[in-house]
């Protein structure tokens, strides 16, 4: 299957069960690079569908994605589609928590900047903000400005949080 055929597959009718099929196709046909490219398309429902299928495949077989761990991190900052942000945020948080990627100082700074922008952007979906907060907590020991600014940002977020963000903020407080 080619990248173009995968794109057309993502254009087909979308249902949750179909996503599991797409995840299998990505793994079976070795289409991870193609799906990663599609996930970066702006203003395309196929971008969301590619990211969703990648996340599903990733958490079923994370070791299969080892050659692409760094690409998930770099693409986190490049992704334009808001729905892609959630899926990539979840994957990047997993990678950081398990220390699966080694980042240069510029890569770490770029990741922190992107996560911070998504966290404070009130138009970001709640799940995007939750994963951005998780990423920033994981980067705080390495990025001085994150360690300095995150407590104030978290305090501001706690003034009127959604239930999901409130849960993440409580988890954050317990771990400190």
Q: Identify the band that residue 49 occupies on the pLDDT scale cut at 50, 70 and 90.
A: very high
Residue (of 59, 55, 36, 60) closest to 47 by Cα position: 36
Per residue in 115-140, pLDDT (tens digit) is 999 999 999 999 999 999 999 999 99
Q: Are 51 and 89 in contact (CB under 8 A)?
A: no
Q: What tokens does 44 get?
A: 């395309």
CB under 8 Å to 93, separation ≥6 — which residues?
131, 134, 135, 138
pLDDT at residue number 100: 98
The whole-model pTM stands at 0.94
Q: What is the DSSP letter of 67?
A: G
> How far apart are alpha carbons 92 and 146 in whole angstroms?
17
> How far apart are alpha carbons 27 and 97 in whole angstroms?
24
pLDDT at residue number 173: 83
Q: Identify the band that residue 160 occupies on the pLDDT scale cut at 50, 70 and 90.
A: confident
């Amino acid at each position: 299957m080619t990248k173009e055929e995968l794109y057309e597959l993502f254009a087909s009718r979308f249902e949750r069960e179909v996503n599991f099929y797409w995840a299998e196709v990505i793994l079976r046909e070795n289409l991870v690079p193609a799906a990663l490219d599609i996930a970066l398309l702006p203003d395309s429902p196929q971008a969301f569908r590619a990211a969703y299928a990648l996340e599903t495949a990733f958490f079923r077989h994370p070791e299969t994605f080892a050659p692409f761990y760094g690409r998930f991190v770099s693409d986190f900052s490049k992704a334009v589609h808001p729905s892609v942000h959630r899926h990539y945020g979840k994957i990047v948080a997993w990678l950081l928590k398990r220390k699966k990627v080694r980042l240069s100082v510029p890569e770490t700074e770029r990741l922190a900047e992107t996560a911070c922008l998504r966290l404070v952007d009130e138009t970001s979906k709640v799940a995007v903000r939750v994963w951005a907060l998780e990423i920033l907590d994981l980067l705080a020991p390495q990025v001085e400005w994150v360690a300095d600014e995150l407590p104030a940002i978290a305090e501001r977020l706690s003034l009127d949080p959604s239930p999901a963000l409130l849960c993440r903020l409580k988890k954050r407080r317990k771990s400190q």
